[in-house]
Amino acid sequence: MFIQSQIEAQHPARKFMLLLGLFLFCLGIATVAQILILFLFAEMESMQDIASLSDYNNPKIITGMKIAQGASAIIMFIIPALLFAWISSEKKFKYLKIQNWFSSQSGLAVVLLVFCAMPLINWMGEVNSHLTLPDFLSGLENWMKSSEESLKKLTEAFLKMDNVFDLIVNIIIIALLAAVGEELLFRGAMQNVILEWTKNTHVAVWITAILFSALHMQFFGFLPRMLLGVVLGYLYVWSNSLWLPILFHFLNNGLAVLFSYLVSQKTIPESAETIGTGSSSILLVLASAVVCISLLYFISKSPTAILTEEESI
C-alpha cells in the first residue's frame, strides 16, 4: 500500500513520534472507556461520586476496575501496536516477529528462569523500596510514597480471590492481556523503532526497558521492573520471536497471581511471596543471580525455531 511504503521510508524518529501519538490517542480512549465502565459498575450518578471508587470492599467497584483494566490493556497497548505495524510496514507480522516461534530449549529455559529469578527480583524490589531522594525533593518523595500506598491497597483488593473463577479472571487480566499487550507495544513496536533509530541493539533494549518501567508509574518498583524489561528485550532479540518474551511476561505475572491465591487459601505460607528478602537470604539471592545468568546465556546460544508465514504478510 502507498501509505505503508511512505511511512516505512520515514526517519525512525518520525516513526517513534507516530507510535507515541498512536499510544497517547489510544490512552485517551482507554481513559474514557475506564470512566464509563466504572460509572456503570459502581453505579455512579455523577463525578461527585468518584470518591466511592476508593471503597475496595465493594465487589462491584473491584469488578468494574478489573473489566476496565482488561479493556485498557487492549485499547492502550494492543491496538496502537497493531495499528503502527499495519501502517508502517507492508510485512506487519514479520515486523513484530509474531510469525516466528521459539525453540523448545529456550521455552524450557524461560520457565526455569521465571522460578529461579524470584529471589533476585524480590531482593531488588526490597532494595528499591529503601531508596530515598535528596532532601530538596522530599515533597516529591512523599507524593510517590502516597501513590505507592494507594496502588498497594488496590493491588491487594485485585488479588483477593475467593475461588478458582476469581483466579482465572485475574490470570487473564493481569497475566495474559498484560503480557500480550505490553510486549506487542514495547518489544514488538517500540524496541524495533529505537533499534532502527540508534542502530545499536543494547541501546534499544535498555531505552525500551526504562520506558517500560517508567510507564507503570510505580516508583519504588522501578529498578526490578526495568531489569525485567531488559531481560524481555534480550529474549526478543535472541529468539527473533515476540512469543518468548510474552511467555516470560505471562509466567512472571501469572506466578504472582497464583502465589497470592495459594497464600489466601493457606496452601503455601506467606513467606513464599517474599522469598529472597531479608538479610539472611543473601546466599539465596546470589545463587538466584548465578542461575539466572547461566540460563540467559543458554537462551542466547539456543537455536531459534522459526515458523515463517508468507513473506508478504
pLDDT in tens, 170-215: 999 999 999 999 999 999 999 999 999 999 999 999 999 999 998 8
Residue with the larger pLDDT of the pair 180 and 3: 180
242, with CB counted inside 10 A (0-12, 13-18, 19+), is: buried
Beta carbons of 20 and 26 less than 8 angstroms apart: no
Residue 267 lies in a domain: yes
Residues 259, 234: Cα–Cα separation, whole Å: 27
Residue 57: pLDDT over 50:
yes
Average pLDDT of span 84-106? 84
Residue 283 lies in a domain: yes
Amino acid at 102: F
pTM of the model as a whole = 0.90
Count of C-beta atoms within a 10 Å radius of residue 267: 10
Average pLDDT of span 118-142? 82
Q: Which domain holds residue 150?
A: 91-301
pLDDT at 25: 96
Residue/partner pairs of 278-283 with CB below 8 Å, 24 or more apart: 281/119, 281/123
Residue 242: pLDDT over 90:
yes
Question: How would residue 312 be classed by pLDDT, with cut points 50, 70 and 90?
Answer: very low
Q: Which of 8-17, 156-165, 167-176 is predicted with the least confidence, judged by mean pLDDT?
A: 8-17
Residues 93, 18: Cα–Cα separation, whole Å: 18
Q: Could you report the per-residue pLDDT of 25-45, keeping only the tens digit for each?
A: 999 999 999 888 888 876 665
Supply 30's cell numbers: 482507554
Residues 285, 215: Cα–Cα separation, whole Å: 27
Residue 3 lies in a domain: no
- The cell 533499534 sits on which residue? 195
Residue with the larger pLDDT of the pair 267 and 110: 110
264, with CB counted inside 10 A (0-12, 13-18, 19+), is: middle
Count of C-beta atoms within a 10 Å radius of residue 6: 11
- Nearest Cα to Cα of residue 78 among 188, 192, 185, 201: 185
Q: How many domains does the chain have?
A: 1
Question: How would residue 228 be classed by pLDDT, with cut points 50, 70 and 90?
Answer: very high
Between the CA of residue 33 and those of 71, 128, 187, 270, 282, what are the distances in Å? 8, 33, 25, 36, 45
Between the CA of residue 245 and those of 66, 163, 165, 184, 230, what are the distances in Å? 24, 29, 26, 10, 10
Average pLDDT of span 100-109? 91
Residue 35 lies in a domain: no
pLDDT at 313: 46
Residue 224 lies in a domain: yes
Beta carbons of 158 and 62 less than 8 angstroms apart: yes
Residues 95, 285: Cα–Cα separation, whole Å: 37
The CA dihedral of 56, 61, 66, 70, to the nearest 10 degrees, is -140
Give the SS3 label for residue 50: helix
Residue 48: pLDDT over 80:
no
Question: How would residue 311 be classed by pLDDT, with cut points 50, 70 and 90?
Answer: very low
Residue 16 lies in a domain: no
Largest CA distance in the chain: 62
Beta carbons of 34 and 72 less than 8 angstroms apart: yes
Amino acid at 251: L
- Nearest Cα to Cα of residue 253 among 149, 151, 120, 118: 118
Q: Which of 193-197, 220-224, 309-313 is predicted with the least confidence, judged by mean pLDDT?
A: 309-313
Residue 309: pLDDT over 90:
no
Residue 69 lies in a domain: no
Render the burial of 118-152: b for 16+ CB within 10 Å, e for the rest.
bbbbbbbbbebeeeeeeeeeeeebeebeeebeebe
Residue 86 lies in a domain: no
